[in-house]
């Protein structure tokens, strides 16, 4: 039983990790099409404003 739970937890963790990496690859590919956008979502600091980026211009 312990083995089964361990296995399930491992499968879940590895699945989440794979999903995250897949999402990163997808976003990197998508970024190649956004010619006006900035940053690469790589966490390297190139994204303008980061999480604090305001959207006031789009809202008004």
List residues near another protein by CB under 8 A. Answer: 2-3, 6-7, 9-10, 13-14, 16-18, 20-21, 24-25, 28-29, 31-35, 37-46, 48-50, 52-60
Tokens of 44: 């390297």
The structure tokens 């600091």 sit at 45
Question: What is the closest distance, in whole angstroms, from the C-beta atom of residue 55 to another protein in the complex?
Answer: 8
What's 48's DSSP letter? T
Question: What is the closest distance, in whole angstroms, from the C-beta atom of residue 14 to another protein in the complex?
Answer: 5
Question: What is the closest distance, in whole angstroms, from the C-beta atom of residue 56 to another protein in the complex?
Answer: 4
Task: Name the nearest CA neighbour of 43 among 33, 55, 31, 54.
Answer: 31
């Amino acid at each position: 039983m312990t083995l089964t739970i361990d296995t399930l937890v491992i499968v879940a963790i590895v699945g989440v990790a794979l999903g995250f990496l897949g999402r990163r690859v997808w976003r990197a590919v998508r970024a190649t099409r956004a010619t006006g956008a900035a940053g690469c979502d790589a966490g390297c600091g190139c994204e303008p404003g980061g999480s604090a980026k305001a959207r006031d211009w789009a809202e008004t």
